[in-house]
Each structure stands twice: as structure tokens, then as C-alpha cells.
Amino acid sequence: MLPPLSSGALNRPLNGELSPRPGTTSPVPGAESAERLSPVLRGQRFPDELLFSRNPQRFNTSLNQQITAVQHASDYLGETELNLRLLARPQDQEKRQRQLIRTRQWVTRRRDLSGGTIDRNFQLSVEQPARVIFLCPALSVLLFSEQEEVITFALGEGTFRRWTSLRMIPALSLTERLIIINRALGQFRICCHYDFREQRLLFSLPEADWLLLAHWMVRGGGHCFSTDSLTLLRPEPLVSFEQRLLQLLNNESQSLPLSAEQAVRHLQQQQQKLEQQRLQVASQLISDAAGLNSLQAQTLAGHLRQQLSASQGEFRGLNQALACQANLPAAVVRQLLLAR
């Protein structure tokens, strides 16, 4: 149970942020289902009111994926902020308990509900898979070893185990050692870098692969690691925003303080970054929707001429393909001819 908001917990208005915004109306009492819709769902959808998937040939595949990622990230961040704001409102004990349970479930299902577009720190991962940043103290010795040694890594178990090796030489600089480590661990989709400010070696890998590290082992040449058997590595994920938020929701925020105001502010910052992604996609939509100018028309004609000249007796099939294109929107034909 969350305490009263005397210490920044979720029980008081967030510095007046709960007042109706300009152009909006206060929710109707009892209309809980309506007020639970995220700001994105309550307003005009992005890029338009109807889901683009109802017209799958409207955009090219890459743009479809980008639009989908932006929609998922926007919906999840907006709904998370709404859940926190609902908790800040005065309400009876039973309703508050239901809201707490609903919010905790929403946060713990982040990866599925956001489509993998929001990572553990609730930062955007629209263009690449969300990654987990972690420590592995046992591997720090590789940066300072003064003995030449062959290090072998194993990931997985049984017949599914994968192997990779590296050779550490004393004369190597820190940068060269990092390159060698990344070259070897890159086969496991693990990458590393040295944090000079904190003086520590940090690793990261896609969040979908995190559970595989339960069977991450290493064998050495007797200096850094034993040569007789595999040593189990124990990666330690850095404390994330998601963990601190769950501690706040479970009233366990004493060790890692996070206030409701800080949580909402963080979400708003990420939504501002998401707005930049929106603008990029909108700019591309406008560009694709624009009519052909003379230069583009000449380019398309050149592509068509090349295809005709290279038909080599297959003109009938090419003619049938062109006839099919007559039934497609002009934008789709343009994408096909330009191989976009």
C-alpha cells in the first residue's frame, strides 16, 4: 500500500498537473473506461484515425515498421503516465487498490505491451531492439591481465551451447582489448564498453536474450580463469527505472528513492523524444504523398526502359505485371519501380 503523498508518493496532485488542460474537459464521474484511454487513443491516431494495417500497401515495409513502433511506444508511454496520474487522485481504498494492481501489471508487461519499443529504463528503442545494460565483474580482469591467455566463452547448455574464443596479449592497449572482447562476444550479440567516469566495464545485449545469460560460462588458461572446468559468469543488470517504479508502487522506495513527480517527468521527457520520431515519419509520409516532378518522372521512365530492354523474350510476363500495376495506387507502383 502506498503511503500518503507527503514524501512524493502517488497520492496527491502532481504540482497541479492534474488540472484539465486547455481545450479538454474534466472526466465524467463514473466513466472510468473512457478516462482510462491513453491520450493517443482519445485523440487522433498517428498517422491517421484508421490503423494503417487496413491498407497494407499504402506504405513501404520499412515505413510500416517505423509507424508501428512509434504507435506502440506512444500508446505505452501515454497509458503509463495516465495510470500514475490516476493513482495521484483522491479515491477510496478499494478503488485505489484496484488501480495499484492494474498499474503494476501494466509496468511488468512492458516488453509485450510496448512491442519491444520501450526498454527497462523506459527509454525509446524504436529503431533497434531494447537492450539490457549489465555488469560482469569477473570479466574486468581481462582489461588488466599481464599474462598471455586464450579465453573461451560458452553460452547455453547441452547441444544448444555456442562457443567463442579470444586471445589476450599483455602488450594490448585498453582500446585494443575492448575490440577483441567485442569481436568475440559479438557472436552472442553482447557488446561492451568502458565507462571512464565510473571506472567499470559495462555490457549490453538484446532484452530478448537476457535469460540465456543464466548459462554463460568461461574457461581460461589458468591465469584469469581456470583451465580445468567452465566457470559460471554471473551478470548483474544495472538498476533500471522499471525496478524503481515497481518499488514505488510496492511502497519499497526507501532504498532507491523515486517520487511520483520524477516518474511522470521521466515519461514526459521520453514522449518529447518520441515527438522527434513522429516528425521524421510525418515528413516521410508527406514526401511519399507528393506528386512526381519532372525529374522523378524521367527516373521512373528510365527504370521502366531498363526493365523492358532486359526482358529478353519475357515481354509477355512483364506486360502482365504492368497490367496488374494498373489496379494499384500510384504510390505503390512508384515504390515497386524504384525498388523501395
Are both 34 and 62 inside the same structural domain? yes
Task: Report if residue 243 sits inside a domain.
Answer: no
With contact defined as beta carbons under 8 Å apart, do 132 and 237 qualify? yes
* DSSP bridge partners of 203: 134, 192
- Rounded Cα distance, 332 and 290, in Å: 13
Evaluate whether residue 241 is within a structural domain. Answer: no
Residues 108 and 33 in one domain: yes
Whether 240 is covered by a domain: the verdict is no
Give the helix/strand (H/E) hosting 286.
helix 260-289
Question: How is residue 173 written as a grid cell?
Answer: 592497449
**Do 180 and 92 fall into the same domain?**
no
Query: Digits of tens for pLDDT over the chain (340 positions)?
Result: 444 333 344 544 444 444 444 444 444 444 444 444 444 444 444 444 334 444 444 556 667 777 788 888 889 999 999 988 888 888 888 888 898 899 999 999 999 999 888 999 998 888 788 999 999 999 999 998 888 999 999 999 888 899 999 999 988 999 999 999 999 999 999 999 999 998 999 999 999 999 999 999 999 988 889 888 899 999 999 999 999 898 888 875 555 557 778 888 888 888 888 888 778 777 766 665 555 667 777 777 787 777 777 766 666 776 776 666 566 566 666 665 555 4
Q: CATH number of the domain that 211 lies in?
A: 2.60.40
CA–CA gap between residue 252 and residue 239 (Å, rounded): 14
Total number of domains in the chain: 3
300 and 277 in one domain?
Answer: no
Measured CA to CA, the distance from residue 227 to residue 208 in angstroms comes to: 31
Q: 26 with 123, same domain?
A: yes
User: Is 247 a domain residue?
Assistant: no
Q: What is the largest CA-CA distance in the chain?
A: 81
**What is the DSSP track for 27-80?**
PPTT-HHHHTS-HHHHS--SSSSS-GGGSTTSS-HHHHHHHHHHHHHHHHHHHH
What does the pLDDT read at residue 127? 79
Task: Tell me: do 161 and 221 sit in the same domain.
Answer: yes
- The amino acid that residue 180 corresponds to is I
Domain range enclosing 159? 137-234
One domain for residues 124 and 142: no
Residues 212 and 270 in one domain: no
